[in-house]
Structure 1
């Protein structure tokens, strides 16, 4: 069973994410392991791209008993990280093996101490759940890979027993994982604040993100954008091209709206997303009534809309800049001149079904709706489309059914980009997905009757190649300075505070609002005492990193607390020492102050890139502040 031995979500210099220490229990290790076969199984059945073991591992030789246990642990860590990502948990590093030793209580067993990523607000039992599952899976496949041939059953067990419980404790949208992965790759700090809400960056440069909404979005604008009827009224009054529609309360009113608009029509719920309940190409009263009933089943407010010619294009607007334009087309199969549409559907679905079920896209349909779409295009399931021809299986693209996307970013007409930016600004959205229906997005909207169909306050990010390519630009537009602020540390007892005040004054002379905190005292940019309910350097540092008023931070290390709790930052810009001994955080701890200082400095140097600490003689004396300092032990 996995045990959590250190649960503080702190940086300790071993991972790029906040970490915790676990103890893994390997009940047994097979004496003979076909390593290439094991790795091939993990790659082919779980989609896992195995990383090579870290060269510093003392048990890298897989032939020794300890080496076998260590090699298995390294694979367990990678499987556990992959399962957490499948549950949309932002775990981007497998972790690090700290020690492996024989289990004295269980002959043939091994114990491994490992450092792995810690996600705030994820309970310890959930962490243990996924590492227990990964341990059982890797040991089982290593011992007998032939016993894991019924993959659908295995996938279902993992889904029900591991992934669903993980998703239940951390409900994260589809956009969050690729956005956070990009932030991790670019060295942008982030933390989970609970309920799928994340803080990217620190202090004055931090921002909040939930799904793909950002904290700087207008709450009123978000609410209005979700109501298609009111949103269109806003756009129309702002001089933007919007749909012509009417809200109806029953089938009779829907038929009356047709008399005003003519055919074809679109029927949609007013307040649903992702294409839910939308029916297009309505050309008869019977289909109009049916479409109304479908939409009314999802919302009490239904729109009947005049359908305009063209295809929907999604434009991503971030702080007034269009980052990409995608032509969104319904799910379809592409002909090869040889196979029937039915065979093309079967082949496409076989590719999806070979993947773990959590990595699959929606299967290609061959139901009544698909048959109707094929018939409209002059096809049937027995038709053999020419090479390159597309046979549509749905009339519209949606999250439920999937779809195709063609990048039109470089061909977008500037006038169409302009109305997209105007629409985002109208609703006060820093991140918006603007849907423009146009017969030709390369031509101006005012020449071909294009309209802004919807304004989406939470557009999907990172779900296509085009979108993934723009994520670095998204983060650059949203965050200043990689989201970071200068963070420095002063180490010592009473004199460290004077050093910190000296550095604070130097920052202030540059016009930078610098805060200072020790484990028991916090000072604002003007040197005033900031009362805090929290005690401890870690807790107070975390509070200041969330404070938009903080443009620089100096941490005062006066005790050995960092050895127990770590730091809330992964990187230090400057490390300064006074040469004084440190006090122990806990009573009864070793009184060897010099050794304690060396250990603390060794830890802090790992966060400052190994740079030698700077010895500074304090030049500022603040007796009134020093008297307020409480060195609780």
Structure 2
């Protein structure tokens, strides 16, 4: 099994709307060895990957793929399913997969859904090795392969907080672009974009973030606005910490001013020894140390998004109970770390308590008179962690006055998204009646505790963030026109860009002649590519985009956008495309170019050449309206289309006519030079697209009147 080529199709493609990894696979002599003719293959493969039983292939229900294995199927198809399953077991869901033979015997195209191409490439290689090991009856370490893939998922895929925001945007059909290998993501296109980075957005003020990191300054601002906070002050030394504790009155809390995740925080400190020891813990975590009044109650984290409470969780202290035999360390492992909700990876709602790596845990144990390796007497219970376990959902219990208080706190600091740490005995009661207080306001709060609480209902916090950025009717989309076909695409693109510019929008153009933002050329050379389209859509100045897509771009990269308002197919000349990518018949050419029509939005339009039978055939694929263009107004398809209430743009003498069952608008072209015969169809297509975009006939007419062939070819 040899990989001839690996293609990362990052946008809509011939397989699906979503990014896929496509591999050209040469199985050589295995073409004569379907799975049912390889002794022991079925047993070995299913023993290594028993979850293949869930694959529905063929019959549409679990067990379908295994049935195909027993009946006999080929390595390309098997590799597809094995790769998908390895991705799933590694924590990166796939779902879509296809394997198709080419015109060359033994050569297949295998495609699998790819949320990250680095992970998918590794999974494809691991899948090939696993399938070959099963064929040749050789050992294969499935556990090690999955472990390696999981490491890649952790390193290269979006974190759960950012992923939940992107998923929520996708639910609202808001497009997204990952801007880095990390968690910086753009939601929306061009001038209508917003950026998110975990739980921070383009609206998150740097000043507000700086204030939130300074806990003492935060408390001052909250106090001045009447928000209850525990009194306290910054201290300079362990001795100063004890003096502050005496002034405030024990018990107190000692913590770093700029720490996070509860690191370096010690609570309910009563003695000088405890306070001074806690000072050193806090000093190791942050730049300054704060001593403040201890507020009795449970720690809570309330998430405020766009001025509204989105979710709330409660924390609990963690204790172990002695049996007179086991050490404290052993009891922690047995009674706490054995909880399946605990783990070192981010996906777990609760952390594993590692005594040797957590000074705060050792401090808690020692302040109660024990050591980690000491045996805890029978029926004696000690606290091993007082904070950091905020993962029990209480959103529905939050009192309205509490919700108002945390919303105010977020506004005072200036954060659009804030994690408010609050200590209260009962979150269902107002703060003032129980002496509760807000102890911290955090920027960039973690979302996992709300997405996957240890107990209680998960909260749609990603949706809350997306809804705070985009109004209910907004999709984050700009008018976007995609152009495909065998010829004339660049002329159509440049004429249409001119029409859009006349309408007053800043237009971006990506075509074979370069990349343009308004009148400025950004890149030269062929820019009818995925990467050029992405550059255009990242530009916050672009209010409308015109993007040319070459035949090879669709096959090698996929479209540079997920959906478009207008999709144009200029014409289809199958023979021009034979010979590349194993394309050798008209049906295959049609299936490539139909991609442009497949991605037209439901409220958009496909602009199709009525004189081209293959282009006309694509009309049935369009989710939106269809507008035909043609030099010959007598074509039967035009007449039928108009009778059914459709629209068309036609040549009429030396002018053009925009026609429908309701109206006819004649546009003349008294240009100094008449339109050349080979430019009529590109002009018709551009006019039809402008009409579909809602550009007024007067503006279109102005564009047509000033059109020259030199402008289109410049």
Q: TM-score, normalised by structure 2?
A: 0.68
Report whether the alignment pairs 1:536 with 2:536: no
- CA change 1:410–1:251 in 2 (3 A) is same
Q: Aligned ranges for residues 64-463 of structure 1 at < 5 Å?
A: 64-67=71-74, 70-83=77-90, 85=91, 91-99=92-100, 113-117=109-113, 127-136=120-129, 154=143, 159=147, 161-164=148-151, 167-168=154-155, 170=156, 172-184=158-170, 186-196=172-182, 197-331=184-318, 346=334, 349-350=337-338, 352=340, 362-363=351-352, 382-383=378-379, 393-398=383-388, 403=389, 405-463=391-449
Change (3 A) 1:489 1:297: closer
Identify which of structures 1 and 2 has the higher relative contact order when contacts are C-alpha pairs closer than 8 Å and 6+ apart: 1
Deviation, structure 1 residue 254: 1.0
Q: How does 1:586-597 map to 2 (within 5 A)?
A: none
Structure 1 residue corresponding to 2:46, chosen from 38, 41, 49: 38
Distance 1:310 1:9, change over 3 A: same
Determine the structure 1 residue equivalent to 2:671.
Answer: none
Deviates more, 1:287-296 or 1:602-611: 602-611
SS of 2:255's partner is strand
Cα gap change, 1:326 to 1:381, in 2 (>3 Å): farther
| Separation (CA, whole Å) in 2 of partners of 1:299 and 1:541 | 44
C-alpha displacement of 1:550: 3.6
Q: Which whole-Å CA distance do the structure 2 matches of 1:383 and 1:131 have between them?
A: 54
How far has the Cα of 1:112 moved from its partner? Answer: 5.7
Cα displacement (A) at 1:265: 0.9
Deviations 1:410-448 (A, max 9, x none): 332222222222222233322211112222222222333
**Distance in 2 between residues matched to 1:67 and 1:184, nearest whole Å:** 35
Aligned counterparts of 1:374 and 1:499: Cα–Cα separation in 2: 79
The 2-side partners of 1:5 and 1:70 are apart by: 16
Equivalence for 2:562: 570
Cα separation, partners in 2 of 1:469 and 1:51, compared to 1, 3 Å: farther
The Cα RMSD (Å) is 4.9
Match of 2:628 among 585, 595, 615: 615
CA 1:394 to 1:521, structure 2 compared with 1: closer, same or farther past 3 Å?
A: same
**Corresponding position: 1:496 with 2:492:** yes
Deviation, 1:582, is 11
Distance 1:40 1:503 in 2: 60
Flag structure 1 segments of 5+ consecutive residues without an equivalent.
86-90, 105-109, 335-340, 385-390
SS in 1 for 2:540: coil
Q: Which residue is 2:10 aligned to?
A: 9
Q: Deviations over 1:546-580 (max 9, x none)?
A: 13344443434587654444311122333334558
Q: Whole-Å Cα distance in 2 between the matches of residues 344 and 247 of structure 1?
A: 34
The 1-side partners of 2:259 and 2:710 are apart by 60
Q: Is the 8 A contact 1:317 1:434 kept in 2?
A: yes
Q: Which is greater in Rg?
A: 2
Q: Give the whole-Å Cα distance in 2 for the aligned partners of 1:519 and 1:204.
A: 24
**CA 1:545/1:623 → structure 2, altered by over 3 Å: closer, same or farther?**
same
Query: 1:253 deviation in Å?
Result: 0.9
Q: Distance in 2 between the 1:349 and 1:96 partners?
A: 38
Alignment length (residue pairs):
583
DSSP 3-state at the match of 2:414: coil
Q: 1:107 maps to which residue?
A: none
* Cα-to-partner distance string for 1:433-464 (whole Å, 9 max, x where unaligned): 11122222222223333222111111112442
Shift of 1:271: 1.6
- Per the TM alignment, residue 469 of structure 1 is displaced from its structure 2 partner at its CA by 3.2
What is aligned with 2:710?
627
> 1:388 maps to which residue?
none
Aligned to 1:602: 594
8 Å CA contact 1:514–1:554 kept in 2: the answer is yes
- When residues 547 and 266 of structure 1 are mapped into structure 2, their CA distance, relative to the original with a 3 A threshold, is same
| Distance in 1 between residues matched to 2:343 and 2:413, nearest whole Å | 40
Distance 1:582 1:447, change over 3 A: farther
Aligned-partner Cα distance in 1 for 2:573–2:140: 60
How far residue 313 of structure 1 moved from its aligned partner, in angstroms, is 1.7
Q: State the secondary structure of the residue aligned to 1:483.
A: coil
Q: Which runs of 5+ in 2 are unaligned?
A: 322-327, 356-360, 371-375, 602-620, 630-648, 650-683, 688-702
Alpha-carbon deviation of 1:266? 0.8
Change (3 A) 1:77 1:147: closer
Report if aligned partners of 1:254, 1:292 keep a CA contact under 8 Å in 2: yes
Cα separation, partners in 2 of 1:132 and 1:347, compared to 1, 3 Å: farther
Aligned residues of 1:435 and 1:454 also touching (Cα < 8 A): yes
Q: CA deviation at 1:467?
A: 4.6
Deviations 1:181-208 (A, max 9, x none): 4444554422321141122222233222
3-state DSSP class of the match of 1:194?
coil
Residue 53 of structure 1 pairs with residue 57 of structure 2: yes
